């Protein structure tokens, strides 16, 4: 297994300046993100935890899961969170042709547009006016990223990985990964998936409580935050 750091090194960020790794701010703001949903029970649990702390977040959704669980996805929208494109089939860019990768991303884009347009909260939903994309596994070819950027997307990577999906990582370690490395403006990766839920169920409430007591606000990624 290749070593992946909890916190993205600054030299990596400098190599890929067209990607968003963190939000530039000196304010007490953090940006929680959730990949791979919507997922039955898990996503609704996440929404409840966020609501308890008046927290907003960004959900990078798999198109196929949106098709499978449209009611859950609509609840994410109605709760005022930002939405990102995570491809339709959770493709690994390094092992996928650029044409297939682009088509898969466009398939989810069309799906998102339909859901936004049918949502009662469409006019108030900031993510409906912003195109966010996160490559599954963080793996994307330069040729693919060029196309995604030309389609008008902001490619969002991360500053902090919780490692909630990793069965060798304990729930306590997930919390430590975050609170030991996070700074104002950090983009933090969680997963609203069955695979990650054991760690997520422990870590998310701890993180929300810890930073709320320190006066931090949890925000969704929006146009304003990217300016």
**Would you please indicate which residues are annotated as catalytic (active-site) residues?**
35, 191
Cis peptide before 38 (omega within 30 of 0): yes
Give the integer Cα–Cα distance in Å for 9 and 6.
9
Give the integer Cα–Cα distance in Å for 13 and 121.
35
Helix, strand, or coil (residue 215): coil
| 69 CB neighbour count, 10 Å cutoff | 18
46: exposed, middle or buried (Cβ count in 10 Å: 0-12, 13-18, 19+): buried
Helix, strand, or coil (residue 163): coil
């Amino acid at each position: 297994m290749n070593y992946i750091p909890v916190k993205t090194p600054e030299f990596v960020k400098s190599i890929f300046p067209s990607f968003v790794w963190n939000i530039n701010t000196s304010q007490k703001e953090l940006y929680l993100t959730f990949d791979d949903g919507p997922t039955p029970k898990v996503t609704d649990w996440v929404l409840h935890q966020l609501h308890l702390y008046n927290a907003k977040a960004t959900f990078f959704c798999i198109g196929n899961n949106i098709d499978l669980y449209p009611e859950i996805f609509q609840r994410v929208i109605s709760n005022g969170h930002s939405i990102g494109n995570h491809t339709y089939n959770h493709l690994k860019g390094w092992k996928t042709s650029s044409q297939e990768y682009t088509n898969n991303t466009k398939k989810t884009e069309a799906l998102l547009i339909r859901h936004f347009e049918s949502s009662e909260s469409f006019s108030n939903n900031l993510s409906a006016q912003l195109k966010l994309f996160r490559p599954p596994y963080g793996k994307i070819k330069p040729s693919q990223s060029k196309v995604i950027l030309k389609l008008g997307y902001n490619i969002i990577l991360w500053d902090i990985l919780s490692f909630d999906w990793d069965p060798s990582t304990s729930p306590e370690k997930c919390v430590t990964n975050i609170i030991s490395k996070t700074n104002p403006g950090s983009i933090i990766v969680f997963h609203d998936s069955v695979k990650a839920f054991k760690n997520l169920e422990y870590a998310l409430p701890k993180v929300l409580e810890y930073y709320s007591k320190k006066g931090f606000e949890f925000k969704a990624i929006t146009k304003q935050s990217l300016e």
